[in-house]
Structure 1
Amino acid sequence: MTGCQNARCSQLMKHTQSRTRQADVLTYPAPIPQIASSLDALPRTVACSMNQGSNVTSMDFHSSYQTLLLVGTGTGEITLWEIGLRDKLVSKPFKLQNIASYSSQFQAAMVKDSSISVTKVSWSPEGNLIGVAFSKHLIQLHAYQAPDDLHQFLEIEAHVGGVNDIAFSHPKKRLSVVTCGDDKLIQVWDLTGYKLYTFEGHEAPVYSICPHHKEHIQFVYSLAIDGKIKAWLYDNIGSRVDYDAPGNWCSTMLYSSDGSRLFCCGTSRVGDSFLVEWNDLEGAIKRTYVGFQKNSFGVVQFDTTQNHFLAAGEENQIKFWDMDNVNMLTSTDAEGGLQSLPRLRFNKEGNLLAATTRDNGFKILANAAGLRSLGAFESRD
């Protein structure tokens, strides 16, 4: 806890029990955006449509290979797509090795219903590992070597019930895996499957996690389905903050690419969606973005890119915002066929955007630079 002796840490992780901070909205003047240049930078041109063959539940682009997309599905399958080639590099269906080695709760759940789906896929920061979370108890870790060598090396019964999120972090300069689940817990694992930490304190299933660091301070935000936000250091002392998320239901937090700005997006139980910039030092809303409809069925998904743009999927559309302006910048239906609440994922350069479709696939949208990168594959072929 020596890192928490400085003022920076005490400001970031001060003990707070405020349950009304979301009402303390700070107002900032909204600058007039440079509309033309902003629209040109957004990936809005449909470059291709891909058929996965089953419902796409999660996507993540590789950190270095900008056209390499990892996809998880409702049947438990994971697939690596090379978007430049419009082709699957490798596909791995879910396969349970030895059910007898797992808990009686998991065995009973699989006997009752053998179906299992992917809830989240995530690349490690270096891009050599893949984390996969499933709707029942399990996570998997796979090792990746370019171009198409993907093999599973670890499977963990991480939670009782669904595993709702998985992410990589570096506590104490050690690559670890963070998970959360229906059992109201956040767990931290090393790469051998050893449990390093268990964070307890939520009173409802934990919907999402957001590991991050400020200077040398490593921490994890967690958001439960009762709308409670907590933050944890890698120790056994407990949550450092207790905030209320807007909507008081399912929410996700993401930092901007440079780690300086925090955004929160989600939907309330009555279907009101929101997207806000969050003051992570004070637990207050910095700005609220406008442009959502009322009464959504499901939870809106979002992503950020280039330290500049936000995108959310709603009304069979992709909606875009400039981070510095609360008004929606533009929207697109991607030539039709998107899910009512499409899942979205930018690649790391922000020139490609994947969005899920109703016909068990996804579309790739691109800006001019993205189209050039995809065209380079075609000319090479």
Structure 2
Amino acid sequence: MALETQTMPQLELEAVIGFNGHVCAGLRVHPDREHLIYPLGCAVILKRIKDGKQEFLHGHTNNVSCVSVSKSGLYIASGQVTFMGFKAEVIIWDYEKRAIYAQLLIHKAKVEALAFSPNEKYLVSLGGQDDGSIVVWNIETKQAICGSLASAHSAGHCLTVQYSNTNDNVFVSAGSGTLRVWELDVPNRKIRPTECQTGKLKRIVKCVQITENDQFIFCGTTSGDILKINLETGLLSDFGPDKEKFSMGVNVLRILKCGDLLVGSGSGNFVLCSKTKFKILKTAQLKKGVTSIAIRGEDQQFYVGTEGAQMYRFSYDDFRATLISTSHSSAVNDVAICFGTSELFATCSEEEIRLWHIDKPTELLRITVPKVTCNALDFMVDGHSIISAWSDDSIRVFAPESGRLMLIIHDAHRMGVTAIAGTRDCKRIVSGGGQGQVRVWELEPHGHRLLETMKEHKATITSIKITSDSKNCVTASADGACIIWDIVRFASLKMVIANTMFRAVCYHPEEYQLITSGTDRKVAYWDVSDGAVIRELEGSQSGSINGMNISQDGQHFVTGGDDKLVKVWDYMKGEVTHVGIAHSGSITSIKICSNNRILLSTSADGAILRWRFPHPLSP
């Protein structure tokens, strides 16, 4: 990150919506019982349970793949994924200082799992499938002590590690056809494995827990059963349940003080079962697969995370799920703010649209269309409908209060509908598709009518903006052209061309200029009347600028892109006034609310960030 970016005035971050529920055992409760710890993109988030205040641990360069917390809570460790041929970093964080304590670099491509020793002397790290090694680190010296291949050549790859609760020199690893107890020999800098004997049972172990007295190992398997192994002898002691196995496998286990088990399955089943014969005592069914279970305090409260990016709170007594957080589980493609009120906003991601309240970012409504992706959306100016562009070549119009489907236009574009906008009079929709065609639709009381197809673009339409009088519009395309269209006579008026793939275009509110952004990392100003370029600014140090929006008074605009930075610009000076540093993934879209109070940005890691916009509307 450039030094000038770090020294520039920072945007004030007000709230973050997001949680990577695909990370197994990624949701943790800190031993202070006051904070939830979980991954989101490249960041580890600390969220205060009492009031929801969030802090961010930034340091990873790619998505966080595993999280572990030491017994006292002094340290947090997190590992990441990276690209083939590159090394994946482990970071140990100093919890009190909220700062990096050590950066450990040895594994290739991915860090699969991490575990602290009980007295916080050592950290064991497990590499992913392309690495296959286990490494033990000395936390005080920040150096590797020793390492070994995680599993025998005849076995599959290792998936998890768990440290003993009483002995700094013993830990367990498990995975596909492998279950090993390791002993650390520090003077000789070696780790020696002992294979556990499961007889004829061949299992893929996904998660491991060790009883508090280190007597038994419990292993959750992809087959949906649980193995109980004697830690000292390495022999199978029990397995079950006898009758119904856990559907879609056991993803996560936790042992309560009484010895009973909390079990989370891939089918969303969250169960309390007995320590012997694994008899089910209590059960709850969640919508998505359970990937994390975190225990708070003396077994009275549990936090459960799912692969659908939901977080639930349970109490031991009633075992009922209270939804405390929900978010997108994949990249957010677009965000739109309801015009005028600035109280509601909508986001889209894969097969869903979600409606949120802007001040307390809670989900108000979810619209789901299975097996298709929503590429773009917008509110009609009157607020009576949400128009949306979908990958199955359809345009869908929904009622924002109920989510009712008001209109569907089938076969609107080939290769998907990729951009959409509505006119101010709410009578027409302009859409763009994957083949570069621009179409104008008239909305009728009981249907729709195609008015015209305009065919000058040669590639995907990425952005559409319509003038306030609803007579003209501008379309940006990946073909390196922006075209201004007359949407009354259906003719092109001007074309601007640059050596880029345009990602975003905006009219200045007075509509005499355009600003554009794209893969060339530049922000360009264009004259609407003759299509001439007026000014070019260096908008980003790295990566394309994917999102852009301009304030209602035209004095400021905002950009965001692959550099993960939100930038607020002075329109006339062409200078950055504020920078927002918090995103962990590429920024996909960005919007300023109509009263200049709030700025929203979304990213490829599923996060939605709400910032305080630093420039009030001019009188």
Please say whether Structure 1 and Structure 2 have the same fold, judged by a TM-score greater than 0.5.
Answer: yes
Shift of 1:284: 1.1
One of 340, 353, 356 as aligned partner of 2:599: 353
Shift of 1:265: 1.5
Corresponding residue for 2:380? 124
Counterpart of 1:199, as a letter, is: M
Q: 1:208-219 maps to which residues of 2 (within 5 A)?
A: 208-212=463-467, 218-219=471-472
Equivalenced residues, count: 294
The CA distance in 2 between the partners of 1:174 and 1:121, in whole Å, is 15
Counterpart of 2:452, as a letter, is: Y
| CA contact 1:197–1:236 (8 Å) conserved in 2 | no
Moved more, 217-226 or 274-283: 217-226
Say whether residues 1:181 and 2:428 are aligned partners.
no
Say whether residues 1:265 and 2:517 are aligned partners.
yes
> Given the superposition, is the C-alpha separation of residues 165 and 358 from structure 1 closer, same or farther in structure 2, using an over 3 Å criterion?
closer
Shift of 1:131: 0.5
The CA distance in 2 between the partners of 1:174 and 1:66, in whole Å, is 18
Say whether residues 1:220 and 2:468 are aligned partners.
no
One of 307, 315, 319 as aligned partner of 2:554: 307
| CA contact 2:388–2:397 (8 Å) conserved in 1 | yes
Which consecutive unaligned segments of at least 5 residues does structure 1 have? 1-38, 96-114, 371-381
Q: Which has the larger radius of gyration?
A: 2
| CA contact 2:523–2:539 (8 Å) conserved in 1 | no
The CA distance in 1 between the partners of 2:546 and 2:602, in whole Å, is 13
Shift of 1:79: 0.8
Moved more, 322-331 or 251-260: 251-260
Counterpart of 1:242, as a letter, is: M
Shift of 1:359: 4.4
Counterpart of 2:379, as a letter, is: W
- Compare relative contact order (CA 8 Å, sep 6+) and give the higher one, 1 or 2: 1
| CA contact 2:512–2:529 (8 Å) conserved in 1 | no
| CA contact 1:197–1:235 (8 Å) conserved in 2 | no
| SS of structure 1 residue aligned to 2:340 | coil
| CA contact 1:58–1:72 (8 Å) conserved in 2 | yes
> Given the superposition, is the C-alpha separation of residues 123 and 87 from structure 1 closer, same or farther in structure 2, using an over 3 Å criterion?
same
> Given the superposition, is the C-alpha separation of residues 358 and 169 from structure 1 closer, same or farther in structure 2, using an over 3 Å criterion?
closer
Q: 1:140-155 maps to which residues of 2 (within 5 A)?
A: 140-144=396-400, 148-155=401-408
Say whether residues 1:83 and 2:335 are aligned partners.
no
The CA distance in 2 between the partners of 1:292 and 1:87, in whole Å, is 32
Which consecutive unaligned segments of at least 5 residues does structure 2 have? 1-8, 19-326
Corresponding residue for 2:394? 138
> Given the superposition, is the C-alpha separation of residues 257 and 339 from structure 1 closer, same or farther in structure 2, using an over 3 Å criterion?
farther
> Given the superposition, is the C-alpha separation of residues 129 and 322 from structure 1 closer, same or farther in structure 2, using an over 3 Å criterion?
same
> Given the superposition, is the C-alpha separation of residues 179 and 80 from structure 1 closer, same or farther in structure 2, using an over 3 Å criterion?
same
Shift of 1:356: 1.9
| SS of structure 1 residue aligned to 2:342 | coil
Corresponding residue for 2:414? 160
Corresponding residue for 1:242? 495
Q: 1:335-350 maps to which residues of 2 (within 5 A)?
A: 336-350=582-596
| SS of structure 2 residue aligned to 1:150 | coil
The CA distance in 2 between the partners of 1:366 and 1:116, in whole Å, is 33
Shift of 1:307: 1.3
| CA contact 1:198–1:236 (8 Å) conserved in 2 | no
Shift of 1:217: 7.5
| SS of structure 1 residue aligned to 2:359 | helix
| CA contact 1:69–1:81 (8 Å) conserved in 2 | yes
| CA contact 2:452–2:490 (8 Å) conserved in 1 | no
Flag the structure with higher strand content. 2
Identity percentage over the alignment? 19
Shift of 1:153: 0.9
Corresponding residue for 2:442? 190
The CA distance in 1 between the partners of 2:490 and 2:429, in whole Å, is 20
Q: CA RMSD in A?
A: 2.5
> Given the superposition, is the C-alpha separation of residues 317 and 79 from structure 1 closer, same or farther in structure 2, using an over 3 Å criterion?
same
Corresponding residue for 2:335? 59
The CA distance in 2 between the partners of 1:212 and 1:368, in whole Å, is 26
Shift of 1:69: 0.9
| CA contact 1:247–1:273 (8 Å) conserved in 2 | no
Runs (4+) of structure 1 moved beyond 4 Å?
Answer: 367-370
Flag the structure with higher helix content. 1
Counterpart of 2:422, as a letter, is: F
> Given the superposition, is the C-alpha separation of residues 320 and 232 from structure 1 closer, same or farther in structure 2, using an over 3 Å criterion?
same
Shift of 1:222: 2.1
Corresponding residue for 1:366? 612
